[in-house]
Structure 1
Amino acid sequence: MPSFTLAGVVFLGIAAVHGPASAEGLKPIEYTFGDGTVIRLYGQINMGVLSYDDGQVTDTNFVDNDNSSTRAGLQMSSTRGDWNFGSTFEVEYQPLASNDVSQVNHTPDWDFGQKNIRKAEITMANERFGKLWLGQGSMASDGTAEVDKSGTTVVAYASIPDTAGGYFFRFEDDDLSDIQVGDAFSDFDGLGRKFRVRYDTPKYNGFGLRASYGVDWVADDADAQYDIAATYDGDFDDFVLGGAISLSRNETNDTNFLAGSVSGLHKASGISLTLAAGQEDTDGPSGYYGYTKLGYERDFFDIGSTAFSVDYYLGKDIAAEASDSQSVGLAAVQNIDSANLSLWLLWRNYSYDDNNGEYETSQAFFGGALFKF
């Protein structure tokens, strides 16, 4: 069954289960047992049309939005005294993703297996002692380069390759190079999701620490990976402020990552500013980058907030020594609260330069919708 047809069937099925929408959005799919234990089904469908112009040829496909992939999960939580116990099992399914499609790859991968498991974890948390995580899920450094208050992260944030990351840059002499967008751009956002043990300290005046140790179980890689991160969340009268920084070690490829981000939102105006930076230390090219984003979010319409952003990314030595990577993006998101729906649109350009030749500047147009349940 084509992916867009499958998505439509799932959407209609979920809508039927939810029943009619209200101004507050669709009701959660959950059940509460007599002892207070809550079990909840959740997920999202996030798909759109991606058009990539490599400077000479335009390629257009219907894809899953890898900035926030299509997924579903089952979550259970229970409180016993001062302790909260939880478990989560979550999978994603994106046969043709916006970071995989390319000039030479238009074929969906319908297989479903171990690689589709995002989370399979249990947790225990206490306000005084912190939180312990066991199983497949986010390492301590996951998301530390991606703190963002702009309201447009559904389609634009520091991870530039999530849109068009599989496409190849084209030489000005007509031939495709072997450099993909995903090779030239990275936000070095730590270690992602692994099979791990993780501990988060309690928050003190908005500050927290977390650390984890794990292996890449999904990729059958037993080499150790470990990290430590510091975070901050503050809500003031006029501003909301968030930040994170992490140091990560991947023994598999003898690589260290340092990454961080900070984002602030002025409540009255809806203006936000986001900054991110990171560096890779490895035997190969040790790249680094800087990223900045200006956002604006307001309630122009009764249906939900509208958000706009412009961002800029500059990378050095990421794909190869003496290489430069630059990208500018313009994004817009319209939320429809009563339907748990967000309509999004992105234009992004990509430029790359190294000592192996002259490359065309490319650009992507990406539009679609996110539905959450």
Structure 2
Amino acid sequence: MRDNAAKSPAITGLILLGIAFSSGSAMADGLKPIEYTFGDGTVIRLSGQINMGVLRYDDGQEVDTNFVDNDNSGTRARLQLFTVRGDWKFESTFEVEYQPLASNDVSQFNHRPNWDFGQRNIRKAEIAFANERFGKIWLGQGSTASDGTAEVDKSGTGIIAYSSIPDTSGGYFFRFQDDGLSDIQVGDAFSNFDGLGRKFRIRYDTPTFNGFGLRTSYGVDWLADDPEGMYDVAATYTGDFDAVALEGAVSWSHNEASDTDLLAASVSGLHKPTGISLTLAAGQEDTDAPSGYYGYAKLGYERDFFDIGSTAFSIDYYLGKDIAAADSESRSFGLAAVQNIDKANLKLWLLWRDHDYDDSNGEYEDGQAVFGGALFRF
């Protein structure tokens, strides 16, 4: 067994979480936004989150334990400006992410923090113009139209368990049952094909009609050596009824650099009287290599057991075909719990997840992850 927990980031993270908890507990209704309103109504706001924990991964022969950032919803900070001029709303966002050692990067060979900060840490640098009649236009680095369409989730446990399985331990390598490590990582075997992600793009969202909306974007990966175009289109739906809250999305996207088409969809429904939710997601990749596809299902339950905030539980299952290689199969089973502490803007979370992979090259050990920590938002 190896214990690779890095002392410096661990101490720093625990101190930050302690400060967050103590300051938040003093507030009657949680921490107020950090913002300033000018005389003309323009608002400037600072917000973000710290999301860290301890990840224990068992590859079937050896165990690694590391203090890491939770890549399911990573540590980040953002500066935003909002203003209204007539019927038009204007907003700008600059958001950075900082994860010296992230849960999706740590592995049997990588357990040292990388303190570098560069362009890849920039999540968003965008402006947007919105009008209730004409819709919304986005310019700059940010979410494409297809980003998030495989990740609609109303379970209350999405900060630690959702359709993107590799966010927890995607860097780890599967081990052959004869004790040798393979060259297949968890991130190779599992994907939710969630569109084009965040890119430098122009995006348009239509107004919503009875809960339905359309959006499309065109952009490039500004960090690529030879950026080529990519484009997508997505449809969304949000409905809030007496007993049920429902949300869904579907998208198609194309990347010219890799000549790849992606289809992604997800839907999530919450039965408000009972707190029971059902989430489904599916996707497919169409490329010159074998086209992979998957299905994902999650059953959730959220209830106010305690006065401090709601408690959410979930159980989920992922089945993928031909994702890492032709004739391969990827399966994952997960159990998650999240405890909200509203006065402290804090969420305590815990996950157990099993990763199972098969292909024609041999027999593989299952990889098991146990991940626990806390998310503080400000």
Match of 1:192 in 2: 197
1:368 counterpart residue number = 373
| Correspondence for 1:97 | 102
Equivalent residue runs for 1:141-180 within 5 Å: 141-180=146-185
Residue equivalent to 2:236: 231
Alignment counterpart, residue 6 of structure 1, candidates 7, 12, 23: 12
SS of the counterpart of 2:169?
Answer: coil
Report the Cα offset of residue 7 of structure 1: 3.0
Counterpart-to-counterpart distance in 2, 1:198 and 1:142: 11
Shift of 1:219: 3.6
CA deviation profile, 1:319-372 (whole Å, cap 9, x unmatched):
000000000000000000000000000000000000000101111000000000
Over aligned residue pairs, what C-alpha RMSD do you find? 1.4
Match of 1:336 among 326, 333, 341: 341
What's 1:182 paired with?
187
> How many angstroms does 1:81 deviate by?
1.0
Deviations 1:118-141 (A, max 9, x none): 000000000110000000000000
Cross-structure match for 1:126 = 131
Q: Deviations over 1:98-156 (max 9, x none)?
A: 00000111111110010000000000000110000000000000000000000000100
Question: Is 1:267 the counterpart of 2:268 in the alignment?
Answer: no
* Partner Cα separation in structure 2 for residue 302 and residue 199 of structure 1: 42
Matches within 5 A, 1:10-29: 10-11=16-17, 21-29=26-34
Q: Is the 8 A contact 1:115 1:219 kept in 2?
A: no
Distance 1:41 1:221, change over 3 A: farther
Which of 47, 55, 68 is the matching residue for 2:52? Answer: 47
Consecutive unaligned residues in structure 2, runs of 5 or more: 1-6
- In the TM superposition, what is the alpha-carbon distance from 1:181 to its structure 2 partner? 0.2
Match of 1:314 among 294, 316, 319: 319
Q: Aligned AA for 2:324? A: A
Q: C-alpha separation between the residues in 2 aligned to 1:20 and 1:142?
A: 35
CA distance in 1, matches of 2:332, 2:344: 33
User: How far apart in 2 are the matches of 1:14 and 1:87?
Assistant: 27
Contact 1:194 1:218 in 2 (8 A): no
Normalised by the size of structure 2, how large is the TM-score? Answer: 0.96
Q: Deviation digits for residues 36-73 of structure 1, max 9, x if unmatched? A: 00000000000000001011111110000000000001
CA contact (8 A) 2:20 2:376 kept: no
With normalisation by structure 1, the TM-score equals 0.97
Q: Does 1:283 align with 2:288?
A: yes
1:280–1:287 CA contact under 8 A, matched in 2 = yes
Q: Which amino acid aligns with 1:306?
A: T
Length, aligned pairs only: 372
Counterpart code for 2:358:
D
Q: Distance in 2 between matches of 1:58 and 1:5?
A: 22
Question: Which letter does structure 1 place at the counterpart of 2:197?
Answer: G
Q: Is the 8 A contact 1:23 1:337 kept in 2?
A: no
**Separation in 1, partners of 2:264, 2:45:** 33
Q: What amino acid maps onto 1:229 in structure 2?
A: A
Q: What secondary structure sits across from 1:7 in the alignment?
A: helix
Q: Is the partner of 2:234 in helix, strand or coil?
A: strand
**1:246-265 map, 5 Å:** 246-265=251-270
Q: Identity across aligned pairs (percent)?
A: 76
**What is the SS of the residue equivalent to 1:190?**
coil
Higher deviation after alignment, 356-365 or 4-13 = 4-13
Q: Which runs of 4+ in 1 moved over 6 A?
A: 12-16
Q: What's the secondary structure of 2:11's corresponding residue?
A: helix
2:243, 2:272 within 8 Å by CA — same for their partners in 1? yes
* Contact 1:215 1:221 (8 Å CA) reproduced: no
Task: Determine the structure 1 residue equivalent to 2:4.
Answer: none
Taking the TM superposition and a 5 Å limit, the aligned residue runs for 1:56-71 are 56-71=61-76
Supply the distance in 2 between the matched residues of 1:95 and 1:221 (Cα, whole angstroms). 27
Whether contact under 8 Å (2:228, 2:257) holds in the other structure is yes
CA distance in 2, matches of 1:60, 1:271: 33
Residue identity in the other structure for 1:63: V
Offset of residue 22 of structure 1 = 2.5
Q: Which residue in the other structure is 2:354 paired with?
A: 349
CA contact (8 A) 2:276 2:300 kept: yes
State the secondary structure of the residue aligned to 1:338: helix
The answer to whether the 8 A contact 1:188-1:258 is kept is yes
